Structure 1
Amino acid sequence: MSDTARYIGPTGIDPIVNKIANLLPRLGISIMGSRQLAVRGRKSGEWRTAMVNVLTGDDGVRYLVAPRGHTQWVRNLRVAGSGELRLGRKVESFTATEVPDHAKIPVLRRYLEKWGWEVGKFFEGLDKNATDDELVAIASGFPVFRLV
């Protein structure tokens, strides 16, 4: 499988954990910056949701990183170009621009620094101490979006 087709679906107890994790932002509970992402489906046009970690970069810019690869929310966001971040009753609309592979390195490193304990298993053995070359080698498999 090429990195541009990389997708790691839920297995084992992941679906149960995902249901609980998705419930928390709906209740207004954020764990380390988590939000419920809502994006219009690329075929149905209906709202689709997923729990995401919103990363704030050193420059104050916010990003969404897809540690599982080219997921349905990634594919929907590419088509829609916008969505909502929800936490309880608070709804924040945004537009998104996909970050090119060569510009992902500092974002991926910061993401691993903050959430490596949670998502490290999806990063092919890499952690916050990975070299730039190692991160460049995997960058195409990890979509990143800049939020405005």
Structure 2
Amino acid sequence: MSTHVQKPGWITVHVVNRAVAWLTRRGISVWGSRVLAVRGRKSGAWRTTPVNLMTVDGQQYLVAPRGHVQWTHNMRAAGGGELHLGKKVEAFTATEVADDDKVPLLRAYLKRWKAEVGVFFNGVGPDSPDEDLRRVAPDHPVFHITVTN
């Protein structure tokens, strides 16, 4: 498994993520934003972070543009979590998508959010050849989400 991680800078952590999470907690989705809550793999405590919920062919996915970050490790251990939008809370189970199956999902993700996250994909964009998307697939975990409530 890839160990690729691109840590967020101070502005992302202290300004952008906080602003998006604040709006999302108040029921205002910013381009599909949700607040992901997942139990920590060591502590068992709930951990939260803003994410972009993507729908492709009626199925929901979470993509980790920054790579194998803490929430992805916690998601693998917990097998699911909660997505918050205002007062609405959806519990879900998560199944990690195999690298070979990520190409259309990464393409859809980049088509929607390239302006926001494109820098994390090393020049690969929504119009890149399948081979380029396959090359970066191991660096970007993708989870299929199944709502359980």
TM-score range, shorter chain: over 0.9
- Tell me how far 1:105 sits from its aligned partner: 0.3
Deviation larger for 86-95 or 21-30: 21-30
Q: What's 1:119 paired with?
A: 117
Aligned to 1:56: 55
* Number of matched pairs: 145
In structure 1, the residue matched to 2:80 is: 82
Paired amino acid for 1:98: E
Aligned mates of 1:40, 1:75 — CA distance in 2: 10
Name the structure 1 match of 2:31: 32
Deviation at 1:141, TM superposition (A): 0.2
1:67, distance to aligned residue in structure 2 (A): 0.1
Matches within 5 A, 1:123-134: 123-134=121-132
TM-score by length of 2: 0.94
Distance in 2 between residues matched to 1:12 and 1:130, nearest whole Å: 30
**Distance in structure 2 (CA, Å) of the matches to 1:121 and 1:23:** 24
Q: Which amino acid aligns with 2:32?
A: G
The letter of the residue matching 1:53 is N
CA displacement at 1:12 relative to structure 2: 4.2
Q: How far apart, in 2, do the equivalents of 1:13 and 1:54 lie?
A: 22
Note the residue ranges of structure 1 that are not aligned, 5 or more in a row.
Answer: none
Give, as a single letter, the amino acid of the residue that structure 1 aligns with 2:59.
V
Q: TM-score, normalised by structure 1?
A: 0.95
Runs of 4+ that moved beyond 6 A: none
Matched AA of 2:99? D
Question: Is 1:137 equivalent to 2:140 in the alignment?
Answer: no
Secondary structure at 1:13 match in 2: helix
The CA deviation string for residues 28-60 of structure 1, in whole angstroms up to 9 with x for no partner, is 110111100000000110100010001101x21
Gap regions ≥5 residues in structure 2:
none
How far the C-alpha of 1:86 sits from its partner, in A, is 0.2
- C-alpha displacement at 1:13, in angstroms? 1.6
Instruction: Say which SS state the counterpart of residue 86 (structure 1) adopts.
Output: strand
CA RMSD of aligned residues (A): 1.0
1:44 is aligned to 43
Q: Identity of paired residues, percent? A: 53
